[in-house]
Structure 1
Amino acid sequence: MIDPWLFERLVCPVTRQPLRYDEDAGELVSDAAGLAYPVRDGVPVMLVEHARRI
């Protein structure tokens, strides 16, 4: 789970668009960029090189 305060402030580093949280996959998804950023131990990893293409 991501802190709601933090989640409201996060945007995709590529597109600067809002993200959605996929709780089942444990990822922050950027539909605009087609990328899913992992969340590890409640900490989003917002590095493009660690993102998964969707």
Structure 2
Amino acid sequence: MLDPWLMERLVCPLTRTPLRHDEAAGELVSDAAGLAYPIRDGVPVLLIDQARRIAPQP
């Protein structure tokens, strides 16, 4: 679980849009960019080259 204060401030480094937390996958998701950023040992890794491409949301 990420701190709510932190989640309010985190944005996608590519689009500068808010991220949503996918707890089940352990990722922060940018729907605007179609990327999922990993959370490793409780630390969000907001590097574009470390992100996983995801299918667009309908």
Pair member with larger Rg? 2
Indicate the SS of the match to 2:5. Answer: helix
Which blocks of at least 5 consecutive residues in structure 2 are unaligned? none
Structure 1's unaligned 5+ residue stretches are none
- 1:17 CA displacement: 0.4
Separation (CA, whole Å) in 2 of partners of 1:13 and 1:52: 14
Distance 1:4 1:40 in 2: 17
Task: Percent identity, please.
Answer: 80
Q: Which residue of 1 is the match for residue 25 of structure 2? A: 25
Instruction: Tell me the C-alpha RMSD between the 2 structures.
Output: 0.6
- Distance in structure 2 (CA, Å) of the matches to 1:51 and 1:15: 13
* Structure 2 length-normalised TM: 0.89
